[in-house]
Amino acid sequence: MDNRTFKVYGQAYAESGDVTATLTIAGQVVFNGPVLDSTTVRDGQPRTSNLLFEYKLLASQIGKLSYSLAISGGELCLGRTKYNLLPVAILTETWIDQNIPDLTNVSTSAQTHMASTFGEDRLGSTIYDALVAGSLTTPTDEQLQVLIEANNTQGPEDVFKWDNDDRKNALIDGEEIEGWAMRWSPSWWPIIDDGSTFTCNWNLDPSTSFTQS
């Protein structure tokens, strides 16, 4: 099974030696070792985005995951994460807007096109047969979800984008991070001191990744 690669960015500083990070996701240690750069001295809010470390998860491992990052040997400012194996749409937004703009009156020709494009293996026999027959004029929420999933295929390994995932209940050493809901953004990173642990509930959703730096 394919593994998705994650690249963690931010800045770290150790007076001597290296900052060490131990990252545990869904109860599994996915990284444990020195980060790639421990030389960036922080002056105020962290701004330097260096690649700190990489790890892998199964591509199928998405959704709500526990996240725990323990730091020793110095300070680590946790920035954004990039990852690969991102969903790619088979049918373009332009085609969807032109042919099924409101999903309440899907034409026979549009149904035929979806059936031939996705195929029975991706759709399942019930929805595939309905599209071929032209009877799926107004899909239910469940049928629509099947069509959405069928329209997404896995992208290449060499394309990485920034995460834009929801991270809730963020704590450092069990204490709430003030203003987390407003501040978690590309320009605000939690500062994890030597001996401290950052935790959160991570809703990993590759469909929300974006290209901005």
User: DSSP readout, 54-113?
Assistant: EEEEETT--EEEEEEEEEESSEEEEEEEEE---EEESS-HHHHHHH-SSSSS--HHHHHH
In this prediction, residue 135 carries a pLDDT of 95
In this prediction, residue 72 carries a pLDDT of 98
In this prediction, residue 148 carries a pLDDT of 86
In this prediction, residue 213 carries a pLDDT of 41
Low-confidence ranges of the chain (pLDDT < 50): 213
Pair 78, 92 in one domain: no
Pair 109, 165 in one domain: no
* CATH at residue 193: 2.60.60
pLDDT digits (tens, 9 = 90+) for 20-62: 999 999 999 999 999 999 999 999 989 899 999 999 999 999 9
Q: Residue written as tokens 């203003």?
A: 179
Domain that holds residue 23: 3-84+160-206
Give the integer Cα–Cα distance in Å for 112 and 98.
Answer: 15
Answer whether residue 111 is part of any domain.
yes
Pair 11, 73 in one domain: yes
